[in-house]
Structure 1
C-alpha cells in the first residue's frame, strides 16, 4: 500500500486550546463532528496531556521491547477473551485482508491486571498507568464536545454514561504500545510484508501517540491513502466501528494502515494507542431510534471483532 500524492484531502489539525473559552466546547463539538463525518481522522494540538507522561511510556517501552524474546514470552497477553496486560508476539495478529505478514509486536496495558508487567523494567507499569488516565480524562472532554456537536441531549452519552467501568473489570479499554522493528527487505519481500495492515478500529475512540518515524496512512473519502506523519505536540484521533454503528453511519470509522517505505523501513517505529471501548454490559443502540443496527453489548461486539483479528493467535491454542 502506498500513499497517493494526488489526493486533495488532508488530515486536519484541531486546536483543543479553546476548550475553556466561552462557547469553546460548542465550537470544538462542531469541528470534531464535521471531521468525523468527513475525513475521520484529525490531529489535536494543545490537548493538555503532559509530554513528559508520554515520553515515559515511549522510553520505558523501548526497554521492554529490547528484552530477549524468551523473557518477553514469559508475560504473554492471555489468549482468552478477557482484558489483560501482556506481550503480543510478532505474528500473533493479522489485520491485512491480503493476510500479508505484519512486522510488529505489542504490549497491552490495563490498570487492574498487572501480574503480566515485566519485572525487568519496573518503571513501565507506572508510566502506562499515568498515560492511561491522562488519555481517559482527555477523551471524556472530547466526547462530551462531540455529543454537543451531534446535538445529543446528554453530553455524557459517549463518555461517563457508557464507560462507567473504565479502568476496572467490566470495561476492555486498553493502552497498547506497538513496536515496529526496522526491516531490510528485497523487492519481492516488500510485496508480502507490512507493518500493520489496512483496518478500522473497533471501539468508541482511539487516541494515538506517534514517535518521530512516519508510516501511518489514512484512507480518504476518494479511496486514496494519504500519509499522517508525526506532528510534534499533537495527538491523532479517530473513532472505531462501534461508534459508526452507534451514530447510524453519521460518523466515519476510517481505514488506516502502517506501511514500510524507503524512508522509514531502516528505523524502528513505536506508537502508543489508547483504545477506548464501551462497558462490557452497555447496550449500544442506534442514536436516531432506528433499527438499522440491532442493539449489541460492548463486550459482544468487541468479541466478534477480536476473534476475526486474532484468528491465528487463538487458533494456535495458546493459553496463558
Structure 2
C-alpha cells in the first residue's frame, strides 16, 4: 500500500486573534486546494493543548480497559446514537448501501457522546436526534476528559467553518446560520480485541468503506497504520496523523453544498496484524454535522455552468438518519449510489 500525500494547513491565523488578513487568505487558499484534490488535511496551529489531548487518550484507555460486561451495560438501541457499540454490531459500508443488509461485521468497539436536548434549552429539539448522553460510572476520569476534548474539537470545527466561508468566497459567518444547534457527535474507537474473539483472515474489517455524513470531521488518532483513504487514482492509501496534527476531512453535506468542488473522501480502517495479532489503534472523530432542520442545497457559486446540480435540497436530519439507519440498524442506504460506485470500482483488481 503506497502513501497518499495529505496536505498540511496551518490555521493559526484563525486561532490567534492577531492573525493577519494575508495569513488567513493563505490558509484559506491552501485548504481549498487540499479540499479539491484530496479531501483530507493535516491541520496544525489548531491551538489544542497537549495536556487536553493526553488526558483524553488516558480516558479512552480507562473506559476500553473495562470488562466487556461493564461496557455492554452502556449500550443503547441502534436508533440512539449514544453510548457503547460492541464489536461486530455495526457496518459502515451499509451507510453507502453496500454489503448485505444486517451483515454487521465491523469489529471496532466505540463510545459516542454528542449534543443533547439539554444543551439547547428553549429550542424544543427532537429527542431522537439530540438524545442525552450516558457516562460510565466505572471510569471516573472519562467524563471530564472527554467533555474537555469535545469542547476543543468543537472549537476547531467552528474555526474551520469560518475558514470555509473565506475559501468559498462566502460572507463572513455564512455557516453560523446552519450550526447554531449542530448535531455534533464524538465517536471514540478502539481497534484491539482479546485473542480468540476475531478470525484473522483476508476479510478482516475494522471499519468498512464509508464517507462521513456531515460538514467536517476533526480526527484524533494514534500514529498506527490502519486508516486508508481512496485516492483519485482508484486505489486505497495509508494515512496517519503527523506529529501534533489533527486529521480533518469533509463530509457529504459539504460535498453537496459545493457540488463536489470539495471532496467527501471515502475511507476505511484495515488494522494491521502483527505476528497473528491485531495491533491496537485508537481514534476519535468529532463530527460537526449541522442543525437537524437546516436545508442544504448547492451554493450558487458552485453550481454547474447551466446553473444545475445533481444534488436536490435535503435537510441535515434526513441525510443523517438515512446514513445511520445503514451503519447502526442494518438498513442499506439507497441514496448513496455515487459513493457506492466509487467503492465498487476500487474493489476491482
Tell me which residue corresponds to 1:46: 45
Secondary structure, in 3 states, of the residue corresponding to 1:102? coil
CA distance in 1, matches of 2:195, 2:230: 26
Please give the residue correspondences for 1:11-50 in structure 2 after superposition, counting only pairs within 5 Å. 11-19=6-14, 20-50=19-49
- Give a deviation string over 1:19-51, Cα, whole Å, max 9, x none: 323422221111111111111111111211112
The answer as to 2:252 corresponding to 1:237 is no
- Give a deviation string over 1:150-177, Cα, whole Å, max 9, x none: 111x23223x2211014xxxxx210110
- Could you tell me which runs of 5 or more consecutive residues in structure 1 were left unpaired when the two chains were aligned: 167-171, 315-320
Match of 1:164 among 173, 180, 194: 180
CA distance in 2, matches of 1:198, 1:31: 27
Q: CA deviation at 1:115?
A: 5.2
Cα distance change of structure 1 residues 115 and 280 upon mapping to structure 2, 3 Å threshold: closer
- Could you tell me which runs of 5 or more consecutive residues in structure 2 were left unpaired when the two chains were aligned: 117-130, 333-349
CA distance in 1, matches of 2:330, 2:72: 17
Tell me which residue corresponds to 1:131: 149
Check the 8 A contact 1:179/1:268 in 2, yes or no.
yes
Secondary structure, in 3 states, of the residue corresponding to 2:320? helix
Cα distance change of structure 1 residues 120 and 114 upon mapping to structure 2, 3 Å threshold: farther
Tell me which residue corresponds to 1:68: 67
Tell me which residue corresponds to 2:299: 287
The answer as to 2:239 corresponding to 1:228 is yes
Match of 2:330 among 289, 312, 316: 312
CA distance in 2, matches of 1:280, 1:70: 34
CA distance in 1, matches of 2:72, 2:194: 21
The answer as to 2:123 corresponding to 1:89 is no
Q: CA deviation at 1:244?
A: 0.4
Secondary structure, in 3 states, of the residue corresponding to 2:92? coil
Please give the residue correspondences for 1:153-302 in structure 2 after superposition, counting only pairs within 5 Å. 154-158=171-175, 160-166=176-182, 172-182=183-193, 189-263=200-274, 266-288=278-300, 290=308, 292-302=310-320
CA distance in 1, matches of 2:161, 2:269: 26
CA distance in 1, matches of 2:194, 2:234: 28
- Give a deviation string over 1:53-107, Cα, whole Å, max 9, x none: 1221211121111111111111113422x5x531111112112445683220000
Q: CA deviation at 1:182?
A: 4.9
TM-score, structure 1 length as denominator? 0.85
RMSD: 2.4
Q: CA deviation at 1:190?
A: 2.2
CA distance in 1, matches of 2:132, 2:144: 10
Q: CA deviation at 1:262?
A: 4.2
